[in-house]
Structure 1
Amino acid sequence: MKLIGSLTSPYVRKVRIVLAEKKLDYELILDDPWGPGARAAEHNPLGKVPCLIMDESGALFDSRVIVEYLDTLSPVGRLIPPPGRERIEVKRWEAVADGVMDAAAAAFLETHRRPESQRNPDWIARQHQKVHAGLDYMEQLLGEQSYCMGVNLCLADIAVGAALGYLDLRFPGLDWRAGHPHLARLAEKLDTRPSFTTTRPPAA
């Protein structure tokens, strides 16, 4: 398998963490979806990363689709429960964490990719509101639990960890830990895992 992606994308990192936890071999092909000649556009009509190229079945895109597929490839460390209430809970966690990443990425791109005269402060503020609302929601949902779903690592934790790591990368002055001690505790625990340390994005 080949994974097309960038080192700073939180969605790519989520997939890479899953690959590491599942002990699956792959080749990482670095790509800048915003640059000329982007590789992702050759396999994903939306031109986004991550994009997983499979040996026989073409390509998969969207991190949620990719991680669902990867979890079926090996019985090692199941990250997504079988169909039922618990699976829905894990996917809910993933949806909120991905939503935080969506809003954070949108705010970053509006601030750093668009000329200052064309930026919309109200729209940027709206994205930051989404980030804070998502953090508050996850903080309350996590509570005193060791992991998002109780005592074992699952996809929910990986998605949350990727989102929190992206906030540290792009918004170092946010200090989200101050008002979210449960999430801070989870992030500290996740950051000791090899799957997280080896996929940590380079400093901005």
Structure 2
Amino acid sequence: MTETTNVTLPAMRVSYEQGSLTESDLAATWHEQLQLWLDQAARAGLPEANAMVLATTDTKGRPSSRTVLAKGLDERGLVFFTNYTSAKSHDLMATRYASVTFPWFAMQRQAHVRGTVEKVGPAETAAYWASRPRGSQLGSWASPQSRVVTGRSNLESALHKIERQFADAENVPVPPHWGGWRIRPEEVEFWQGRRDRMHDRLRFRLGRDGWEVQRVAP
């Protein structure tokens, strides 16, 4: 018989002592700082360093969250790609607002981005699409994302059908139902864990006169 050990949730605790974050540490802009932390997470060998938890709400204010991958970052905002018929896209089309969190637990860091959203242009979408593996391209054609399916075999059948459809095509075209979303930040917060839960939280906030940096209590 295999022994099992129940996890005692109240007793689970980590002391955050890996680093600190001061105003003088920050890059000049939110996107340069986010790129810096992304680069450091990738160099540290963190799996899926560009993974971020995307939160959206529907028209009734009910929240949903899921993990997506950041695939674009510049002064305009943060980009990810998905099916435009998915649940997340329905939320985004309805509310035009989203937030994401990068949970770099191993580095005792998080970054939070909140802002309005817009669809990425066709040229930018096509450029990223061309960089994807063929299998991922075919999967995007085959999967009716977020819809109920009767079983795994239905998904496999749909994929085989798409494979036959594009068997002779050198390049798989971008599906009409697929593309990118850009989050245009209004707030970007950088969180560094500190001892005794006195964490460092520095936030870039967009105001009438441009971006300002604020320190937020932990």
TM-score over 0.5 (shorter chain)? no
Higher strand share: 2
**Which interval holds the TM-score relative to the shorter structure?**
under 0.3
Q: Which has the larger radius of gyration?
A: 2
TM score, norm. by length of structure 2: 0.24
TM score, norm. by length of structure 1: 0.25
